[in-house]
């Protein structure tokens, strides 16, 4: 039986995939090499790691408005995270996820970067506000 | 969300596809943030540089821009943030014809909506300063934090698609900084020193932003001896928004809501000379060569343009160093008329209008020109530019110019 985490209702379709977790923040402009599909900011906790097809589990959003456009372009080119799972996002990430049809949820009971571990298999249902950790028992 | 009859008609497509798309986007975002309804806005400001848009975003704009004129025209005055390319300087900077072609397509699409191509992130200094209580849909973090904090206006960060949606519907979802309950201070800081120059105002903003750490935190900064000028608060706010995703600050004696929304944060964090110096020192690289010196992010005011011109008078930028000065088209015209552009360019620097470096294919520019070591007086820029492969250093305007002349960081 999976661990079930409840969150605020989110955006985008239901997806199943693998978690990449860090206690760090996020901006597509500040942190990513969007051509190579890797974290390029040297000081980011995930520097050098590929994000394409991963479920990113991070704390919150950084400054900058560019992510609102960038997620859709990344989606179209197929070099995009499968989903974004955050403790709390800012308007830009929400707007970008809505515009780019990228799955995104936030506002959990507890720190989601503790609750979810890198490598966990997750099923995210944004319409119901549920994230299931499929590979671990409660 | 509660929708008026007109909003429901937009949603049903009765006012055309652009407004149907726009209000559907706004409802999705509004419901995500539990907005009760939509609030009318008096201005929108769109960030739509082509590096962020990509081919996908430009094609999206073109698709909507091809709709009938009555359906696609914006409903409120709508301005643009800096663009990806300045047609007067792009070749000197090493930008490509493909970039120029994409830029031209984006501009044509935006004009078809009736957008005013202001191409600036200092519209609050140069175009139309907001008023207290005015609801806005501003599309640049520096513009939002300045409008909210210094003028007492009300805007969330509105990314390009959302700012365009607000322009098309004349509204935005009522959540976040449109609401009194989000505007109360949640963090308290007290200065035990005073910033001495614009780069230190930026550093102070960076320290407060980093410590605040979330869009939903509102810092209150006490201990300011004298009211800072507009350029100081511009660098302060822009850096805070960049490091902290912060959208509103209060400053007793300076900003209009500092008493009404003082909040009740229990702890006060002191910020002194040691903290400011440590922030700047973290980006230090004295003695290293410097590839590019950037004065931008935010755009320079006319007063800053005059200061750069004065610092460069009678000097020559080192042959191995590029100096880029970026301002708004309005200020560029004024600088041309007053001879400031000529003085800056006679020293070997480049003055660009309507671009802001990091929104202008900074990664491709690094590759095309072999740029790595960047020097600037903008704390916002040193925060952003690392992800593009640069090693940035923060210094005063005067030290930036001295270094540009020497070809190494002095």
Going along chain A from its start, the domains and CATH numbers come out as 3-133 (3.50.30.10)
The domain B5-180 having CATH identifier 3.30.450.20: the answer here is no
**Alpha-carbon gap, residue B189 to B271, rounded angstroms:** 7
Q: Which residues of A touch B209 (CB under 8 A)?
A: 63
Distance from the B347 Cα atom to the nearest Cα atom in chain A, whole angstroms: 32
Residue labelled with tokens 């350029």: B231
Q: Are the C-beta atoms of residues B275 and B207 closer than 8 Å to each other?
A: yes
Closest CA to B217 of A45, A25, A83, A112: A25
Task: Please judge whether B159 and A95 are an interchain contact, meaning their C-beta atoms are less than 8 angstroms apart.
Answer: yes
Kindly report the number of other CB atoms within 10 A of residue B320's CB atom: 11
Q: How many CB pairs under 8 A join A and B?
A: 138
Distance from the A124 Cα atom to the nearest Cα atom in chain B, whole angstroms: 16
Distance from the B346 Cα atom to the nearest Cα atom in chain A, whole angstroms: 34
Give, for all 410 residues of chain B, the pLDDT tens digit. 999 999 999 999 999 999 999 999 999 999 999 999 999 999 999 999 998 999 999 999 999 999 999 999 999 999 999 999 999 999 999 999 999 999 999 999 999 999 999 999 999 999 999 999 999 999 999 999 999 999 999 999 999 999 999 999 999 999 999 999 999 999 999 999 999 999 999 999 999 999 999 999 999 999 999 999 999 999 999 999 999 999 999 999 999 999 999 988 779 999 999 999 999 999 988 889 999 999 999 999 999 999 999 999 999 999 999 999 999 999 999 999 999 999 999 999 999 999 999 889 999 999 999 999 999 999 999 999 988 889 999 999 999 999 999 999 99
Nearest to B47 among A10, A41, A66 (CB): A66
What confidence score (pLDDT) does residue B285 get? 85
* Token pair of B75 as six digits: 């409903």
What confidence score (pLDDT) does residue B153 get? 98
Q: Are the C-beta atoms of residues B290 and B409 closer than 8 Å to each other?
A: yes
pTM of this structure: 0.97
pLDDT in tens, A31-90: 899 989 999 989 999 999 999 999 999 999 887 899 999 999 999 999 999 999 999 999
Task: Please judge whether A65 and B359 are an interchain contact, meaning their C-beta atoms are less than 8 angstroms apart.
Answer: no
Q: State whether residue A77 sits within 8 Å of chain B by CB.
A: yes
What confidence score (pLDDT) does residue B129 get? 96
- For chain B, give every residue range classified as CATH 3.30.499.10: 5-180, 292-406
What confidence score (pLDDT) does residue B255 get? 98
pLDDT in tens, A1-39: 899 999 999 999 999 999 999 999 998 888 899 989 999
User: What residue spans of B249-361 are helical by DSSP H?
Assistant: 273-281, 302-312, 329-337, 340-346
Kindly report the number of other CB atoms within 10 A of residue B397's CB atom: 20
Q: Which residues of A touch B241 (CB under 8 A)?
A: 63
**Alpha-carbon gap, residue B369 to B133, rounded angstroms:** 46
Task: Please judge whether B243 and A63 are an interchain contact, meaning their C-beta atoms are less than 8 angstroms apart.
Answer: yes
Q: State whether residue A110 sits within 8 Å of chain B by CB.
A: no
Q: Which residues of B touch A49 (CB under 8 A)?
A: none
Q: Which residues of B touch A8 (CB under 8 A)?
A: 32
What confidence score (pLDDT) does residue B275 get? 98
What confidence score (pLDDT) does residue A96 get? 96
What confidence score (pLDDT) does residue B264 get? 82
Task: Please judge whether A41 and B386 are an interchain contact, meaning their C-beta atoms are less than 8 angstroms apart.
Answer: yes
Closest CA to B241 of B42, B47, B26: B47
What are the angstrom distances between the C-alpha of B36 and each of B122, B134, B144, B157? Answer: 31, 19, 22, 18
User: What residue spans of B151-282 are helical by DSSP H?
Assistant: 160-169, 198-212, 230-244, 273-281
* Token pair of B310 as six digits: 């004065």
**Alpha-carbon gap, residue B279 to B325, rounded angstroms:** 24
Q: State whether residue A91 sits within 8 Å of chain B by CB.
A: yes
Tell me the pairing of strands A83-88 and A103-105.
parallel
* Token pair of B306 as six digits: 């005059």
Q: Is A4 left (phi over 0), alpha (psi -120 to 50) or beta?
A: beta
Q: Is B40 left (phi over 0), alpha (psi -120 to 50) or beta?
A: beta
Q: How much helix, strand and coil, in percent to the nearest 5, is found in chain B?
A: 45, 15, 40
Task: Please judge whether A91 and B31 are an interchain contact, meaning their C-beta atoms are less than 8 angstroms apart.
Answer: no
The chain A residue lying nearest B49, using CA atoms, is A66
Distance from the B33 Cα atom to the nearest Cα atom in chain A, whole angstroms: 8
Interface test with B, best of A7, A65, A78, A106 (most B CBs within 10 A): A65
**Alpha-carbon gap, residue B331 to B383, rounded angstroms:** 25
Task: Please judge whether B216 and A88 are an interchain contact, meaning their C-beta atoms are less than 8 angstroms apart.
Answer: yes
**Alpha-carbon gap, residue A124 to A84, rounded angstroms:** 10
ipTM: 0.96
Fold of B292-406: Aconitase; domain 3 (3.30.499)
H or E stretch at B188? strand B187-191
What confidence score (pLDDT) does residue B315 get? 98
What confidence score (pLDDT) does residue B365 get? 95
């Amino acid at each position: 039986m999976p661990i079930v985490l409840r969150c605020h209702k989110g955006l985008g379709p239901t997806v199943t995939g693998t978690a990449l977790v860090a206690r760090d923040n996020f901006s597509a402009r500040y942190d990513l090499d969007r051509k190579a599909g890797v974290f390029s900011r040297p000081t980011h906790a995930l520097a050098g790691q590929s994000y394409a097809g991963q479920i990113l589990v991070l704390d919150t959003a950084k400054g900058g408005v560019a992510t609102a456009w960038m997620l859709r372009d990344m989606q179209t080119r197929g070099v995009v995270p499968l989903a974004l799972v955050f403790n709390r996002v800012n308007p830009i990430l929400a707007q970008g996820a809505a515009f780019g049809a990228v799955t995104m949820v936030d506002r959990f009971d507890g720190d989601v970067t503790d609750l979810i571990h890198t490598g966990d298999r997750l099923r995210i249902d944004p319409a119901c506000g549920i994230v299931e950790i499929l590979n671990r028992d409660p | 969300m509660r929708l008026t009859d007109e909003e429901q008609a937009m949603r049903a497509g009765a006012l055309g596809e652009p407004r149907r798309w726009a209000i559907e986007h706004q409802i999705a975002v509004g419901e995500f943030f539990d907005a009760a309804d939509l609030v009318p806005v008096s201005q929108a400001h769109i960030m739509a540089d082509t590096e962020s848009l990509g081919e996908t975003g430009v094609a999206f704009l073109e698709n909507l821009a091809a709709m009938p004129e009555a359906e696609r025209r914006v409903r409120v005055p709508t301005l643009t943030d800096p663009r990806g390319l300045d047609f007067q300087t792009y070749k000197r900077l090493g930008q490509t014809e493909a970039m120029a072609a994409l830029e031209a397509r984006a501009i044509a699409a935006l004009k078809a909506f009736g957008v005013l191509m202001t191409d600036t992130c200092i519209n609050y200094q140069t175009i139309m300063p907001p008023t207290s209580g005015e609801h806005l849909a501003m599309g640049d973090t520096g513009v939002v934090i300045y409008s909210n904090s210094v003028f007492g206006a009300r805007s969330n960060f509105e990314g390009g698609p959302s700012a365009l949606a607000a322009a098309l519907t004349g509204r935005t979802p009522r959540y976040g900084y449109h609401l009194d309950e989000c505007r109360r201070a949640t963090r308290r800081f007290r200065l035990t020193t005073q910033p001495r120059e614009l780069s230190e105002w930026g550093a102070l903003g960076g320290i407060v932003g980093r410590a605040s750490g979330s869009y939903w935190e509102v810092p209150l900064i006490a201990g300011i001896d004298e009211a800072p000028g507009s350029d100081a608060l511009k660098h302060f706010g822009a850096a805070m928004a960049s490091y902290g995703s912060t959208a509103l600050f209060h400053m007793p004696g300076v900003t209009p809501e500092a008493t009404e929304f003082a909040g009740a944060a229990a702890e006060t964090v002191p910020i002194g000379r040691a903290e400011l110096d440590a922030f700047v020192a973290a980006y230090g690289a004295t003695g290293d060569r410097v590839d590019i010196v950037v004065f931008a992010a935010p755009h320079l005011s006319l007063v800053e343009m005059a200061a750069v011109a004065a610092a460069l008078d009678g000097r020559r930028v080192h042959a191995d160093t590029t100096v880029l000065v970026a301002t708004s088209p309005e200020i560029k015209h004024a600088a041309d008329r007053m001879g400031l552009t000529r003085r800056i360019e006679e020293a070997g620097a480049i003055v660009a209008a309507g671009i802001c470096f990091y929104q202008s294919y900074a990664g491709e520019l690094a590759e095309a020109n072999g740029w790595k070591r960047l020097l600037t007086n903008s704390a916002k820029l040193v925060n952003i530019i690392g992800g593009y492969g640069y090693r940035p250093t923060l210094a005063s305007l005067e030290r930036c110019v001295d270094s540009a002349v020497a070809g190494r960081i002095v």
